[in-house]
C-alpha cells in the first residue's frame, strides 16, 4: 500500500505509535490486540492473518459477512434496529447481515453496512447475494457477499483488487439469499 507503519495506523483510526512500536520491538514482548488487527483489516481490505498478495482460500479464515445477532454482536444504534424491524415487517425469510469486507466497495457496499437479505427471493443478474463457498477437501465453509453475474458470483472491489469468479453450482457454491435493502450505520 506504500504506507509507513505510522500512516497505516493513522489511516486505520489508530494512534501512530500502535503499529510502529510493535514493529520496532526487538524484545518480542509486545503484542498486537485483536482490535488493532481488525482496524487494519477493515482499512486495508486485507483479512486478518493473510499477507498482502496471498489469495484467500475459501473456508480458511473469517467469513466476510455474518448474520446480525443483537445478543452477540455489538449493539447497533436504536434507529438502525428500528430500520431493521421496519424493513422486516411481518415478512418471513428477511434477515439482517453485517458486511465485514471490502469485496463490494465499488458497488457501494462497505464494511459495517447492514444488508437485509431475502432468503426466499430467486437471484437475478446483477443482484447482490449472500453465498457459501465450501472447500470440498477440508469441508470448511466461508460465507461471502458477492454480485451475481450468472452463472458466477464476483467481487467488485478497488481495495481488494480483482477476484476469481466462482461458478454457482449448488454444491461448492450455494446462494443463500438476495439483498433487498441496505442500512449504513455510522457511529
Give 120-164 pLDDT, tens digit per residue.
999 999 999 999 998 877 778 899 999 999 999 999 988 887 788
Q: How far apart are CA 182 and CA 99, in angstroms?
A: 10
**Interval 61-103: pLDDT, tens:** 567 888 988 766 667 888 998 999 999 999 999 999 999 999 9
Q: Is the pTM of this model over 0.85?
A: no
Q: How far apart are CA 55 and CA 58, in angstroms?
A: 9
At 50, is the pLDDT very low, low, confident or very high (cuts 50, 70, 90)? low
Percent of the chain at pLDDT > 70 equals: 88
Q: Where are the alpha helices (DSSP H) in the chain?
A: 5-11, 16-23, 34-44, 78-88
- Give the model's pLDDT for residue 187: 52
Enumerate the domain spans of the chain: 5-44, 65-183
- Give the model's pLDDT for residue 150: 96
- Give the model's pLDDT for residue 117: 97
Question: Residue 168: is its pLDDT beyond 90?
Answer: yes
Where is 131: in which H helix or E strand?
strand 128-135
At 167, is the pLDDT very low, low, confident or very high (cuts 50, 70, 90)? very high
**Distance between the two ends of the chain, CA-based, in angstroms?**
26
Question: Residue 29: is its pLDDT beyond 90?
Answer: no
The CATH number of the structural domain formed by 65-183 is 2.10.109.10
- Give the model's pLDDT for residue 83: 93
β partners of residue 147? 128, 154
- Give the model's pLDDT for residue 75: 76
- Give the model's pLDDT for residue 57: 45
- Give the model's pLDDT for residue 62: 60
Amino acid at each position: 500500500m506504500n504506507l509507513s507503519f505510522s500512516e497505516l495506523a493513522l489511516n486505520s483510526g489508530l494512534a501512530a505509535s500502535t503499529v510502529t512500536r510493535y514493529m520496532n520491538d526487538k524484545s518480542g514482548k509486545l503484542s498486537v490486540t485483536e482490535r488493532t488487527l481488525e482496524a487494519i483489516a477493515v482499512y486495508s481490505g486485507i483479512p486478518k492473518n493473510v499477507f498482502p498478495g496471498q489469495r484467500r482460500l475459501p473456508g480458511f479464515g473469517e467469513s466476510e459477512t455474518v448474520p446480525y445477532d443483537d445478543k452477540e454482536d455489538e449493539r447497533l444504534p436504536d434507529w438502525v434496529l428500528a430500520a431493521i424491524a421496519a424493513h422486516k415487517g411481518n415478512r418471513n425469510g428477511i434477515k439482517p447481515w453485517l458486511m465485514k469486507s471490502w469485496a463490494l466497495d465499488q458497488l457501494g457496499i462497505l464494511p459495517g453496512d447492514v444488508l437485509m437479505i431475502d432468503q426466499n427471493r430467486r437471484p437475478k443478474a446483477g443482484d447482490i447475494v449472500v453465498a457459501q463457498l465450501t472447500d470440498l477437501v477440508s469441508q470448511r465453509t466461508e460465507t461471502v457477499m458477492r454480485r451475481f453475474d450468472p452463472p458466477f458470483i464476483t467481487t467488485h472491489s478497488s481495495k481488494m483488487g480483482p477476484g476469481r469468479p466462482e461458478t454457482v453450482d449448488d454444491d461448492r457454491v450455494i446462494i443463500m439469499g438476495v439483498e433487498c435493502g441496505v442500512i449504513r450505520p455510522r457511529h
